[in-house]
Structure 1
Amino acid sequence: MNTSKPILVTVGILSFALVGFALYLQHAMDMLPCPLCVMQRYAFVAVGLLCFIFAAFPRSTTRLGAALAALAALVGGGIAGWHLWIKAHPAVSCGIDPLETSLNKIFTAELMPFLFKADGLCTTDYEPIIGLSIPQWSLIWFVILALLLIWAALRQSR
């Protein structure tokens, strides 16, 4: 029988691998995450958790899980798109503002500051990775994950 569970597991692994890479960039390469970077991390974690949770549920719920995870990926893509807009318009900044203060007071940021604490500025230009900025890579990955999840949600079980 054909199910979407392998797709959910694969997308979940990819989502957490991308968060792991973000942690590598933060802690090994000293690239401090800005508030929008942290919000993108929340979106990747949401996608991964939804995928793993619904992959563990009965087969009848995998389509719902894929649809919810696709929605989280689309939200993350929107955040990454906004981040790119801010980088293209340096006069606008999300730097030290109420967004950063609010994000850093969420219980997950206080519990896991190494992962969810916003310390950087959105307009900081870091060295590109294979020619693209971090928000560009995030947007690409959110689109890929959303397309996979939409396909899994629309896929018919046989």
Structure 2
Amino acid sequence: MLASIQQINSRQTNFLIFIVCTLMMLAAAYMEHVMKMIPCSLCITQRGFVVLTGVLALIAAIHNPASGGRRVYAILGIVSPILGACFAGRQLWLQSLPEDQVPACGPGLAYIFEEFPFMEAFKLLLQGDGNCAHVDKILGLSLAAWTFIAFIGLALVNLYQLLRKDDKLA
């Protein structure tokens, strides 16, 4: 199996990362629009990092740079999902709080961006509120847990990209 993994070049790996991120966003859209699961502010922040990770991977796949450029893309591809994992971790922490310690629910996202200065609205978005403590489970884990696992997986694949031996440009 290791031999078959090594046959996949960095361009193909980056395209695979892009596909995974696209599937994650399609699943999020399905849950929001079909299953009527309203995303909280931390969910939206995590979506932003999924999109950023996917876009970086797509650019890397299209650009297909030499060794130094591949390392830069890999480093960016590690940082983005690690930051996303931090927000997923914060949501997991909020979900683990006893009910009496959950922060109060805040106003809707549209209201926040209409009424608050951008930086204050952005800060509120990143902190999360009581809405973020709601737990929706799929296959026994919360969505935040699945997203956390996905971010760690994406970071590990990018770490592999960073540490792998140079492959032929394809």
Same fold (TM over 0.5): yes
Q: Normalising to structure 2: TM-score of the pair?
A: 0.76
Shift of 1:97: 5.5
Question: What is the CA deviation profile of residues 67-111 of structure 1, one whole-angstrom value per residue up to 9, with x for unaligned ones?
Answer: 1011101000111001000111142337315987249987xxxxx
The aligned residue for residue 74 of structure 2 is 66
Q: Is the aligned partner of 1:22 residue 2:28? A: yes
Q: Is the aligned partner of 1:85 residue 2:96? A: no
CA distance in 1, matches of 2:18, 2:115: 25
**Structure 2 CA distance for partners of 1:103 and 1:94, relative to 1, 3 Å:** farther
Question: What is the CA deviation profile of residues 119-146 of structure 1, one whole-angstrom value per residue up to 9, with x for unaligned ones?
Answer: x9112232x1111110000000001110
What one-letter code is carried by the residue in structure 1 that aligns with 2:96? A
**Structure 2 CA distance for partners of 1:103 and 1:8, relative to 1, 3 Å:** farther
Q: Rg bigger for which structure?
A: 2
1:122 aligned to 108, 132, 156, which one?
132
Shift of 1:2: 7.2
Contact 2:49 2:80 survives alignment (8 Å): yes
Please list every run of 5 or more consecutive structure 1 residues that lacks an aligned counterpart in the other structure. Answer: 107-117
CA distance in 1, matches of 2:92, 2:46: 12
- Which secondary structure state, in structure 2, belongs to the residue aligned with residue 42 of structure 1? helix
What one-letter code is carried by the residue in structure 1 that aligns with 2:142? S
**Structure 2 CA distance for partners of 1:94 and 1:59, relative to 1, 3 Å:** farther
Q: Is the aligned partner of 1:142 residue 2:148? A: no
**Structure 2 CA distance for partners of 1:2 and 1:16, relative to 1, 3 Å:** closer
**Structure 2 CA distance for partners of 1:12 and 1:28, relative to 1, 3 Å:** same
Contact 1:19 1:41 survives alignment (8 Å): yes
Identical amino acids, percent of aligned pairs: 29
Shift of 1:156: 1.7
- Which secondary structure state, in structure 2, belongs to the residue aligned with residue 125 of structure 1? coil
Q: Is the aligned partner of 1:12 residue 2:13? A: no
**Aligned residues: CA RMSD:** 2.8
- Aligned length, in residue pairs: 145
Question: What is the CA deviation profile of residues 4-58 of structure 1, one whole-angstrom value per residue up to 9, with x for unaligned ones?
Answer: 1111110111011101101101111111000000000000000000000111114
